[in-house]
Amino acid sequence: MSQNLNQTFLAITRNSTDLEWLQGALAPLGQVVSAGGGSLDELLALVDVTFASLVFVGLDREHVVAQSALIEGALEAKPMLAVVALGDGMDNQLVLNAMRAGARDFVAYGSRSSEVAGLVRRLSKRLPPVAPNTQLGGLTVLYGVQSNGDGALLANHMAQVVQKSGQQTLLLDLGLPRGDSLALLGLESSFHFGDALRHLRRLDATLIDSAFTSAEAGLRILAYAASDEPLEHTSAAELYMLLSALRQHFQHIVVNLTGQPDSEALRTFVSHCDKLLWYTDQNVLDCRRNLAVLNLWREKGMKLDHARLLVDRYLRSVAPDSETLGKSFGLEVIAVLAYSPEVRLNAKNQGVTLFQFAPREVLTQSLRTLGERLAKRSEGLAKPKAGWFNRLRGTP
């Protein structure tokens, strides 16, 4: 999905610690996505949407019969798939069961990263090349640790610019506080993020047209509801399925994640987007919090070549300036947005956009320019087609 990732691998592991070990070992090669708890249907569906050709399956004595059956079922449905078993390297019975089920190799938990990466490189050379879907819509993520309504304000305006460029655009607002993108425009919705996850198999053009909230110029908005589960409780597999489905129906998706705590779900968005806009201002305390997360992700081996720094509420007379911030974060500054507190407050309170309220303001012009840059990523994509979930279910 993201141009920054070479491959996507799927994994069924005992726990999150094992998953993180595998993710760290394979970080230079690509992204490891959790395939959940071992459902064959879910695994096969994820293979279809991720184009993964290599799957890791953890084995243990208590569940080895079911785990071996899972490997056999996956290979029966996808003969070109390569399966690598994970388990206790001292347990010869597990190794034997894995080989009998059709696993290409066996890796002991805790093996050195270089050994795991070397094995994957060797296997990848013998696997058929996978052609990714180049017609997936563009995906832009706005993220910063600070929680405030301006994240929704900026995401709203960027998404509107992309929509007005002629592209079918979705604003996926998962920022905190919840639902600000709707409130800022005086809109209401009866269908939210949690509903989309629950109706994943029914998410087609008809449902989108009838259930997703529509804003100016046809922009669609899907936001959090107060009753939705926190993002960190959503599995990476669910998110991958949802994003893959939505990117079949929209030419560009702008995701607001400002204020979200670090989680596997958040990292899934960050790893699979085309452009990550890291949102901060000149507040040193907020900068420190942002840098703590950014440095942690870098230590974990996450690829962040697609990240750019977006400095909001900028005052040229106040330190640190944008150049200093760019150096501190180690990111290119994509834009600085003027403070303009009166303009922001009036637009929010009146429920109108900056394009309507103050079209000539520097802030408004900067947001328009930023939105136009994002639109270039997906301007050449054809209009998305329906029918992806029918193919996933195996129906015509």
Domain harbouring 34, CATH code:
3.40.50.2300
Listed in sequence order, the residues at least 6 apart from 181 whose beta carbon sits closer than 8 Å to its beta carbon are: 152, 155, 156, 171, 173, 175, 221, 223, 256
Nearest in space to 207 (alpha carbons), one of 178, 234, 174, 242: 242
- Both 25 and 110 in one domain: the answer is yes
| Residue 215 to residues 24, 320, 353, Cα–Cα distance (Å) | 41, 37, 11
- Both 108 and 174 in one domain: the answer is no
On the question of pLDDT at 220 being above 90, the answer is yes
Quick one: pLDDT band at residue 51, thresholds 50, 70, 90? Answer: confident
List the structure tokens of 13: 């592991």
Q: Is residue 367 part of a domain?
A: yes
Beta bridge partners of 172: 222, 255
Q: Is residue 107 part of a domain?
A: yes
pLDDT, tens only, 291-317:
999 999 999 888 899 999 999 999 999
Handedness of CA 283, 341, 259, 155 (dihedral sign): negative
- Both 109 and 234 in one domain: the answer is no
Listed in sequence order, the residues at least 6 apart from 234 whose beta carbon sits closer than 8 Å to its beta carbon are: 197, 265
CATH of the domain at 212: 3.40.50.300
Q: How many CB atoms lie under 10 A from the CB of residue 47?
A: 20
pLDDT, tens only, 53-85:
999 999 999 999 999 999 999 999 999 999 999
| pLDDT of amino acid 50 | 86
- Both 116 and 172 in one domain: the answer is no
| pLDDT of amino acid 102 | 97
Domain span including residue 79: 7-126
The last residue of one of the domains, among 78, 93, 126, is 126
Q: Is residue 384 part of a domain?
A: no
The last residue of one of the domains, among 84, 102, 126, is 126
- Both 267 and 304 in one domain: the answer is yes
- Both 177 and 118 in one domain: the answer is no
Q: In the chain, how many domains are there?
A: 2
Give 240 or 5, the one with higher predicted confidence.
240
- Both 188 and 88 in one domain: the answer is no
- Both 113 and 215 in one domain: the answer is no
Predicted TM-score of the model (pTM): 0.87
